[in-house]
Amino acid sequence: MEVARRAGHSIALLFRFYAKILRGEQSRSNQLIAQELNKGG
């Protein structure tokens, strides 16, 4: 919410904008998260 406020946008607008950017990267993001979780302590 802070990012939206600072940018002068609504949260809905921010989500719509970033959803377009992030949609194609979801698989890669999930892969990176899984790798980090599987590293262990």
Do 3 and 10 contact (CB within 8 A), yes or no?
no
Give 1-41 pLDDT, tens digit per residue.
777 778 888 888 877 877 777 677 778 878 888 999 998 75
CB 30 within 8 A of CB 20: no
Could you tell me the pTM of the whole model?
Answer: 0.41
Domain carrying residue 32: 2-39
Instruction: Work out how many domains the chain is built from and give that number.
Output: 1
